Homo-oligomer: A and B are copies of this chain.
Amino acid sequence: MIIAVIGIGLIGGSLAISLKQNGFADRILGVDHNEQHGLKAIELGIIDEVVDFEAGIRQADLIILATPVNVIVRILPDVLDLVEDQIVVDVGSTKERITSSVQGHVRRGRFVATHPMAGTEYSGPEAAIPDLFGGKCTVIVDKEQSDPDALATVESMYDSLGMNIVYHQSHDHDIHTAYVSHISHISSFALALTVLEKEKNEKRIFELAGGGFSSTVRLAKSNPETWVPIFEQNRDYVLDVLDEHINTISRFRTLLIKKDFESFYKLIQQANQIRRIVN
C-alpha cells in the first residue's frame, strides 16, 4: 500500500516509521508545507519521497492527515474533493470541528476520523520515533459515517501498530480529551510559568527541582503551534473543565487558609483513588 502522510511531525513521522517497518506500507510519500521538514524526513529515512499536496493524494491508497488541527479543518474538504476511492484518515486531537468540516460531503464515506492517544512533548520530524503507538489506545469517532472498507482499512492499520481501538461519538471524544489530555497541558503550562516567574527573584529555585516537578511540568514543553489550535477548537469544553479544576484547587486553598488539615487529609485520600486508573 502507498501511504501519503500530510504533516511529517511527531505523529505523522512516527506513523510513517512504524507503518513502513511493519510492512503495512510499501511506500511512504511525505507532504509538508515546510520544505525543511520534508528534507529532514528523507535524511532520517522516515519517508521515501517528498511530493506536493495533489500528487500525494492522487498517488496514495491511504492519506494520513497529521498536521495541526486548524490545518486539518482547512484542508480536509479539499482532500475529499480530490479523492476517488482512496481512504483518508486524520489523527487530530479534536474531532467535532474536523468531522463538521466535511458533514454532508459527497465523499464523506472515504474519511475515517481518529485520534491515536500517543505522543511526547517534542515536535517536528526529528521527534518522530519507532514504537510510539504499541499498547496505546486509539479512538475512532462517528464510524457509522465511514464506508465499511475505509473503516476496515484504518482499523487494520491501527491493529498493525498494536493499538487498542475504542469507538466514540466525536462529541464525547472532545469532552473526554478535555479532561484527560487538554487540561493536563494547561495545568503544566501554568505550573511552569509560576515557577519561572519566581526564578526572576530566586535564582537558585530550580536547584531543588526533582523528579516530581519534572513529571508535573513535562507537558509544558509542548509546542504552541500544535496546541493553540486544539484549545481553540475545544474551547468550550476546556473552559468547563478549567472552571472545575480551578474550583478544586481553590478547595485546597480554602482548607489551608482555615487550617482544616483533617478535611485536607480526606481530600488527598479521595485523590489517591486515581491509583485505580494510573499505574
CA distance A99 to B264 in the complex (A): 25
Q: Would A213 and B181 be within 8 Å (CB), given that A176-B204, A189-B268, A250-B246 are in contact?
A: yes
Contact B118 A210 (CB under 8 A): yes
Contact B249 A243 (CB under 8 A): no
Residues of B within 8 A of A103 (CB): none
CA distance A139 to B204 in the complex (A): 12
Contact B212 A249 (CB under 8 A): no
Using CB atoms, name the residue of chain B closest to A266: B224
Decide yes or no whether A202 CB sits under 8 A from chain B.
yes
Q: Would A186 and B249 be within 8 Å (CB), given that A179-B205, A208-B173, A269-B224 are in contact?
A: yes
**Chain A positions 60 through 103: 1 when the CB is less than 8 Å from some CB of chain B, otherwise 0:** 00000000000000000000000000000000000000000000
Residues of B within 8 A of A207 (CB): 137, 166, 176
Q: How many identical subunits does the complex contain?
A: 2
Using CB atoms, name the residue of chain B closest to A115: B208
Residues of B within 8 A of A179 (CB): 194-195, 198, 202, 205
Decide yes or no whether A256 CB sits under 8 A from chain B.
yes
CA distance A33 to B187 in the complex (A): 38
Most chain-B CB neighbours within 10 Å: which of A239, A265, A277? Answer: A277
19 contacts between A and B (CB under 8 A): A117-B210, A119-B211, A176-B205, A177-B208, A184-B216, A188-B271, A189-B268, A191-B248, A196-B271, A209-B277, A215-B216, A216-B216, A224-B269, A228-B265, A228-B268, A231-B264, A232-B259, A235-B256, A242-B249
